Structure 1
Amino acid sequence: MTALGLWGIAADTPDRTAVVDPDGRSVGYGELAAMADRYGRGLQAMGLRPGDAVVLMLPNGVEMVALHFAAQQTGLYTVAVNWHLVGPEVAYILADSGAKAFFAHERFAEVARAAVEEAGFPESGRFAVGSGSSSGVPGFRPLAELGADEPAGRPDERTLGAPMLYTSGTTGRPKGVRRPLTGADPDDAPGTAIWFFSIFGLAPHDGHVHLCGSPLYHTAVLNFVTISIQLGHTAVLMDRWDPAEMLRLIERHRVTHSHMVPTQFVRLLALPEQVRTRHDLSSLRTVIHGAAPCPQEVKRRMLDWWGPVVVEYYAATEGGGTTIMAEDWLRKPGSVGLPWPGSVVKVLDEQGAELPPGEPGLVYLRMGTSSFSYHRDEEKTRAARVGDLFTLGDVGHLDADGYLFLHDRKADMIIVNGVNVYPAEIEGELAAHPKVADVAVFGVPHPESGEEIKAVVQPVDGAEPGDALTAELLGFAAARLARYKLPRSVDYVDELPRDPNGKLYKRRLREQYAPA
């Protein structure tokens, strides 16, 4: 039987390509496993033990992948940070996760420095990836020092770790989704990984090559890369996604599968005809998309171009989901599919009663007996549950055949280029400005990014609404929020619509810009 898992494949065929770095360098399974072993030994020498957390703020590259596997084999929680965040946001995650080590790239040196200073993070746990012999980040040690003085071989204590994923909290602050460690052997390719890929028609050692064009800090993106490697599929990494470059890489590496978001489809379709037809894309077998609703016309055009290889899924960080293959989608356009094997999908009313086919309500999920909790937010954990089911707050319905159709995403969540943006966090920062009496933030339709962020502000008495105030507010927010969270436009009103109890009727505002 052909070996599975990073270390099993490394032992059998060490020269087999595991990763193609964005610079074009091929890294074999043996080299990748050795890197993960060295980093794992280094983390244990620092005193990290199973259940501790490490934070990674790194671009796509072999270092990010090796550190993830190092943490996975030493029982650590891996927190992959969105590198668009600003210093205070990263500092919050460092503190909230209880991280014992922080890895940053020199590209993000300014943010990394601000984060460790605000969080009071110890220098002994700071490491940086740089292009030269130095770390590239003042006050950080070069990554090459981690484990360099340890004896060769695997870490002394090996037990399977887990990703710790951050999602929104009730106050707008992100909350970590932390699953109990299983105690499994890291050498074993997880059966759940084989099962998950089988949903999309992907099997171990079946000649697949995965192309990763999105940042590895996204949950699904990291999962697809690491599972691909575990099952013997080469992972080709892009640093910054570009539509024409993606087509070139598909032809160059005979790519068979990728994970994408609808915004990337839009940009591919916008390429000139001579660019779109220049490359041989016949190797493609499965192109998986999710994370945001895909306009039906966009999906039809992709199916016309690439053929019946486009697969859609709807899933939650917390567990559970649905999938729909191309042929089924053409029969039921707009659907996100049937539940995964072992997954339960139900639509319930506000009292928790199950609704009949065609009736819209809140979508609830469950994946087997999987359990999770929001780190340090038991209230959010309880609020999301009905029995052993949980909801993301999405509204949808099931048809008579059990196919799920989504009517809307979370009531307030904004999705920009496939990335979740939570208005409460933005509102909280803008409300801190002395010229803001009240503020509402929501998404409005955008033809390419799906949605863009709109802020409606009620200024304090005496503050003059207009371009000058908008520039002042956006400048204020830019120092406190990542750029992708900044409103693209600001409108002004005399008073926001609230009921006597203070509840904001945000739907009334939204409907002014996107009538039902």
Structure 2
Amino acid sequence: MMDIGSWAQKHPHKIACSMADGSQKLTFQQLNEQVGKGAQFFEDEGLAPGDHVGLLLDNQLAYFSVCFAAERAGLYYTPINIRLSCDDIAFIIQHSEIKILVTEQRFVQQWPELFIKLQQHMAIFYVDGVGTDNWFQTIQGHHVKDTATGSLGQDMIYSSGTTGTPKAIKWPLVELPSNGRTMLVDLLSGLFGYDDNTNYLSTAPLYHAAPLRHSMTVMKVGGCVYVMEKFDALESLKAIETLSITHSQWVPAMFVRLLKLPLSTRTQFDLSSHQMAVHAAAPCPIDIKQMMMDWWGPIIHEYYAGTENNGFCAITPTQWMSHRGSVGRSKHGVIHICDDEGSPLPIGQIGHVYFSGGQPFAYHKDPERTAKTQNELGWTTIGDIGKIDEEGYLYLQDRVDFLINSGGVKIYPQKIEDAIVTQENVMDVAVFGWPDDDFGEVVTAIIQPLEAVEDEKRFADDIKRELSSKLGKFEIPKHIGFLEQLPRHPTGKLYKKKLREDLLASVQKINFW
């Protein structure tokens, strides 16, 4: 069985999803009723297959009832990052042509002018409050649409805008397979063993593709999803123990925060139920992953993919131990490493990561951006730099947008960040190029300390001294500065471009050492 309705019939009282703190719970029967009524409501409102529904919500179970309802009704659904600027949110809503928006009332107070404009063009419903615009009260009077008919709806998720305007891909809708198994369900359940015995901990915002897709997949195969309202290192360990979590998903920044907890705190929890921890979204420093392996054992699996679906790599713990730093071999598409002109490079050389043989993609209403992802051979790239070894394992180095060109030398910030983040009293770090009259750019590191630093110059000097044995002289930061909080997205993405622009424009004041 691969759908909510079937599980509602077989195990109606089994918990399908719950907030990790227990504040909200839905059985399969309750979830299926909300999904069926929501799907019927969309149809009764005149939405046709291929139309668009938007969600502007913080983590809560309403995500699943709305997304599954849109899927059953053959609609596209777009969860919107609530931490984007008002302009970016407005862009996504207009760009995707959303007809119904499901949100929270607090956002009306946060962006009143935006909602005044939106109300003129679409229906808006709220998951909180009372009245005719309450989502749950609105769908209550509708019949339950039992199954999808015709095309199956799907997500259309926009990028977080870390390197530019948010972009998305509108994949063609497909007919629901007769056996109910979609390619995504087969891929994720096959790789990570999701089934009806799975207790899955979702640690990240559901407006991000991975947490939403994995959570929905787990429920489709009959497992239970536990959602954290927001990530907290200590609370996540408590959840694994108290909820008997079997599977979980993380980003490397979460691993760092877990490892920064006192050893006495980390070791007080019984994590024996934990069978698999999956991570993705950003490269993981080798030392950080090794420390997590030493702590949790060989249960940490990694994958590399983009919403573009042009390629998919995965690596098991055993494979990683003999290919440290790799994100795995391709499970979908053929990997090619190319130079700046898009021509293939020999094995072992660093270049642009391209894939061939994957599903062709196009950014929605953005042919110019789409064209930049392709070379003359028709291979596609999503902007990563890396290399492959003789066995076909891929090693990511950085993003093209983040490369530093210092005196003609290409420097990869990710390598420097990996070396700094393992240092004592470092919680997070961003490395980028800073304008320099002699070299064009010089390496600059902005550090978020774990605890307040009294003598910044001394701390900066200590870090540079520690790095001298790990990095080349040209890679050691010329400047080091400190900020109380770096602009890191909860999904692990770091807004380095905006941070650099703010510092250059003196929006944020900082001392360099």
Contact 1:20 1:237 in 2 (8 A): yes
Question: Against the structure 1 CA distance between its residues 328 and 54, is the aligned structure 2 distance closer, same or farther, given a 3 Å change threshold?
Answer: same
Aligned sequence identity (%): 31
Query: 264-273 or 485-494: which moved more?
Result: 485-494
- Other-structure match for 1:77: 76
**1:356 alignment partner in structure 2:** 346
Q: Distance in 2 between matches of 1:170 and 1:233?
A: 33
Aligned counterpart for 2:499 among listed residues 477, 482, 487: 487
Name segments (4+ residues, structure 1) moved above 4 Å.
Answer: 155-158, 168-171, 442-446, 452-458, 483-486, 488-494
What does residue range 259-274 of structure 1 map to in structure 2 within 5 Å? 259-274=249-264
**Equivalence for 2:355:** 365
Q: Find 1:194's aligned residue among 180, 186, 195.
A: 186
Superposed CA offset, 1:26-66 (max 9, x none): 31111111101111111112111111111111122211111
8 Å CA contact 2:88–2:165 kept in 1: the answer is no
Q: Label 1:144 to 1:367 Cα distance change in 2 as closer, same or farther (>3 A).
A: farther
Cα distance in 2 for residues equivalent to 1:174 and 1:364: 21
Structure 1 residue corresponding to 2:172, chosen from 159, 173, 180: 180
**Aligned to 2:134, which of 129, 133, 142?**
142
2:383 corresponds in structure 1 to 393
CA deviations 1:364-407 (Å, max 9, x no partner) are: 12464x23210110111122123443101211111111111112
Q: CA offset at residue 233 of structure 1? A: 1.4
- C-alpha offsets along residues 92-149 of structure 1, whole Å, 9 cap, x if unaligned? 111111000111123433345333334x44376101121x4358xxxxx211233233
- Report the count of equivalent residues: 434
The residue that corresponds to 1:16 in the other structure is 14
What is the TM-score of this pair, normalised by structure 1?
0.77
How many Å apart are 1:330 and its aligned residue? 1.6
Quote how far apart the aligned CAs of 1:274 are. Answer: 2.3
Q: Quote the offset at 1:78 in angstroms.
A: 0.9
Q: CA deviation at 1:186?
A: 9.4
1:322 equivalenced with 2:334 (yes/no): no
| Larger displacement relative to structure 2 (442-451 or 373-382) | 442-451
* Matched residue type, 2:176: A
2:322 to 325, 331, 334: 331
Pairwise CA distance, 1:187: 8.1
The TM-score with structure 2 as length reference comes to 0.77
Partner of 1:6: 4
Select 2:372's aligned residue among 376, 383, 401: 383
- 1:250 and 2:250 correspond: no
Q: Does the 8 A contact of 2:148 with 2:176 survive in 1?
A: no
Amino acid at match of 1:14: P
Q: Deviations over 1:405-437 (max 9, x none)?
A: 1121232499xxxxxxxxxxxxxxxxxxxxxxx
Instruction: Note the C-alpha offset of 1:333.
Output: 1.2
Query: Which amino acid in the other structure matches residue 388 of structure 2?
Result: L
Tell me the CA shift for residue 312 of structure 1. 1.5
For 1:367-516, what aligned pairs fall within 5 Å after superposition? 368=358, 370-386=359-375, 387-412=377-402, 445=417, 447=421, 448-451=427-430, 487=499, 490-491=502-503
Q: 1:308 to 1:171 in 2, by over 3 A?
A: closer
Q: How far apart, in 1, do the equivalents of 2:214 and 2:403 lie?
A: 25
Contact kept? 2:200, 2:224, Cα under 8 Å: yes
- How many angstroms apart in 1 are the aligned matches of 2:179 and 2:12? 15
What code does the residue aligned with 1:403 have?
Y
Cα deviation per residue 1:239-272 (whole Å; 9 max; x = unaligned)? Answer: 0111111111111111111110111111111112
CA contact (8 A) 1:22 1:237 kept: yes
